[in-house]
């Protein structure tokens, strides 16, 4: 283990012992900004590795060991609203919803399926409504400006948007050699799934109005690690 990794490991063990730490920034980027501050790394936008030859990425780790690789509505703009109007259903409380988990190997009950083609992920559907994502949405976690990634996972609680979120950084893995063939196979073999969550507000002044809760690309932590040719747990 190199001196850089040994130093990072020691710092991460101290950070883990701190328990939950209040975010240093509101919204989704708070998890990375907070970790950088705790590690003593200055924030920058230069396309260079953060520490030596290692790039640090932080992600929220759900209680069921699922990682959200990206949260993004499909293109073109406004298409989620059209999908909602076409496929919405009334739940037990009488509210309109479109909650759908989509896979690559089969068509789900709503008639959706993921298909990868030429750098895009298409949401196939029975009405032939064009909806897709560019593969670049995964750059935050898949694409590195170095040949190594230090992936740090944190338990999270509180509200992301308000700035009251807290993180407990609990695991860290050194990843090397992303294998895109494995990533594309993960889509086809259902290791990567899409969770569509659209509905309406249930209270307040917007009650009954359209509300997109976010479309998430999710994967089990263990399956995600296998996308890389080499990985090592250091925390």
Q: Which residue has the higher pLDDT, 118 or 62?
A: 118
Predicted local confidence at residue 50, as pLDDT = 61
Instruction: Take residue 34 and report the two structure tokens written for it.
Output: 């907070």
Q: Which residue has the higher pLDDT, 145 or 25?
A: 25
Residues 230, 232, 235: CA angle, nearest 5 degrees? 155
Q: Sign (positive/negative) of CA torsion 12, 223, 106, 63?
A: negative
Q: What percent of the chain has pLDDT over 90?
A: 59
* pLDDT category of residue 43 using cuts at 50, 70 and 90: low
Greatest mean pLDDT range, 8-12, 103-107, 140-144, 223-227:
103-107
Predicted local confidence at residue 73, as pLDDT = 93
CA dist 87 and 91 (Å) reads: 13
- Rg over CA atoms, the chain: 19
Q: Sign (positive/negative) of CA torsion 42, 175, 120, 83?
A: negative
Q: What percent of the chain has pLDDT over 70?
A: 93
Burial class of residue 44, CB neighbours in 10 A (0-12, 13-18, 19+):
exposed
* pLDDT category of residue 52 using cuts at 50, 70 and 90: low
Prediction pTM value: 0.78
84-116 confidence digits (pLDDT tens): 999 999 999 999 999 999 999 999 999 999 999
Kindly state the average pLDDT of the residues 176-196: 91
- Contact partners, residue 230, CB within 8 Å, separation at least 6: 175, 176, 177
197-220 confidence digits (pLDDT tens): 999 999 999 999 999 988 999 999
Q: Give 40's Cβ-side CA count (13 Å radius).
A: 5
Predicted local confidence at residue 69, as pLDDT = 86
């Amino acid at each position: 283990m190199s001196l850089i990794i040994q130093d990072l490991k020691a710092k991460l063990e101290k950070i883990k012992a701190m328990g939950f730490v209040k975010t240093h920034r509101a919204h989704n980027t708070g998890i990375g900004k907070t970790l950088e501050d705790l590690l003593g790394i200055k924030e920058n936008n230069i396309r260079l590795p953060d520490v030596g030859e290692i790039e640090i990425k932080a992600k929220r780790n759900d209680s069921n060991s699922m990682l959200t690789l990206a949260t993004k509505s499909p293109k073109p703009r406004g298409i989620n609203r059209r999908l909602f109007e076409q496929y919405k259903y009334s739940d037990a409380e009488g509210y309109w919803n479109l909650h759908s988990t989509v896979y690559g190997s089969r068509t789900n009950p709503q008639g959706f399926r993921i298909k990868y083609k030429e750098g895009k992920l298409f949401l196939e559907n029975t009405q032939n409504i064009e909806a897709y994502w560019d593969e670049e949405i995964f750059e935050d976690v898949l694409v590195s400006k170095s040949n190594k990634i230090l992936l740090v996972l944190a338990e999270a609680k509180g509200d992301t948007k308000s700035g009251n979120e807290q993180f407990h950084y609990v695991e860290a893995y050194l990843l090397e050699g992303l294998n895109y063939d494995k990533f594309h196979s993960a889509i086809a073999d259902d290791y990567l799934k899409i969770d569509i969550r659209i509905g309406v507000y249930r209270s307040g002044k917007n009650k009954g109005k359209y509300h997109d809760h976010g479309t998430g690309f999710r994967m089990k932590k263990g399956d995600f690690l296998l996308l890389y040719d080499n990985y090592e747990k250091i925390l």
